[in-house]
């Protein structure tokens, strides 16, 4: 799970750096912004799932 979360972090970093090279109002920039937001939501959900797994391990 930690490796998956690290991959999501790296993907987020790469996408954000790519976004800087696009024209601000272009369709590609808007699509990439949406992908970045979805990646952030995915990361939050994975972090929550990891917390649940840790709690279940303590039972």
What pLDDT sits at residue 35? 94
CB 36 within 8 A of CB 19: yes
Gap between the terminal Cα atoms of the chain: 19
Q: Are 29 and 22 in contact (CB under 8 A)?
A: yes
Q: What pLDDT, on a 0 to 100 scale, did the predictor assign at position 40?
A: 93
Question: Average pLDDT of the chain?
Answer: 89
pLDDT tens-digit readout, 29-49 = 999 999 999 999 999 999 999
Residue linked to tokens 């993907």: 11
- Reported pTM: 0.74
CA 28, CA 26: separation in Å to the nearest integer?
5
Look up residue 40 and give its two tokens. 């952030």
């Amino acid at each position: 799970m930690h490796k998956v979360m690290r991959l999501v972090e790296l993907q987020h970093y790469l996408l954000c750096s790519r976004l800087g090279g696009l024209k601000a109002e272009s369709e590609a920039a808007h699509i990439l912004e949406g992908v970045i937001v979805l990646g952030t939501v995915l990361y939050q959900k994975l972090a929550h799932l990891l917390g649940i797994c840790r709690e279940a391990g303590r039972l």
